[in-house]
Amino acid sequence: MTSRTDVEAASGAKSGTLKFVRTLANISKDAGSVAHMRCEVVGDPPPIKIKWYKNEAPLEEKRPKITIKKIHMQTHEHAVKNIAGSRLRITNLDVSDVGFYTCRVTNGKDQIQSEGTLRVDSSKTRHGE
């Protein structure tokens, strides 16, 4: 069973047959930079669906600004059959990206979610990242 020390059981991080291996963190970034978020879940039955939400609204992929990718666990150090993960990448951050981001996972039996905030500071000059 994968259990890492840097993972804290946040509220809603565990629900019956599902458990977060990695929950979302609260992050602060400068405008123009890139934000990465990832969530990983183990479960039996294995997680089948991971969906992202931003401020309660479903988040759709919109390349190149918003990319959502499955994490392929074969390459993962703690490769376990029953693990699934998703990675969200938002580039060229601005105030419209500020919000509560939620990753919601189901395995047909249970549903769990993890929430993290993204803040963007637009008050500094945009140079580099």
Query: Using CB under 8 A as the criterion, which residues of the chain lie in contact with another protein when the complex forms?
Result: 55-58, 94-100, 117, 119-123, 125
What minimum distance in Å lies between the beta carbon of 32 and another protein?
A: 12
What minimum distance in Å lies between the beta carbon of 57 and another protein?
A: 4
Q: Looking at beta carbons only, is 10 or 71 nearer to another protein?
A: 10
Q: Looking at beta carbons only, is 82 or 106 nearer to another protein?
A: 106
What minimum distance in Å lies between the beta carbon of 15 and another protein?
A: 21
Cα 127 to chain centroid, rounded: 27
What minimum distance in Å lies between the beta carbon of 46 and another protein?
A: 26
Q: Looking at beta carbons only, is 55 or 78 nearer to another protein?
A: 55
> For the chain, what is the HEC assignment?
CCCCCCCCCCCCCEECCEEEEECCCCEEEECCCCEEEEEEEEECCCCCEEEEEECCEECCCECCCEEEEECCHHHCCCCCCCEEEEEEEECCCCHHHCEEEEEEEECCCCEEEEEEEEEEECCCCCCCC
Q: Looking at beta carbons only, is 60 or 77 nearer to another protein?
A: 60
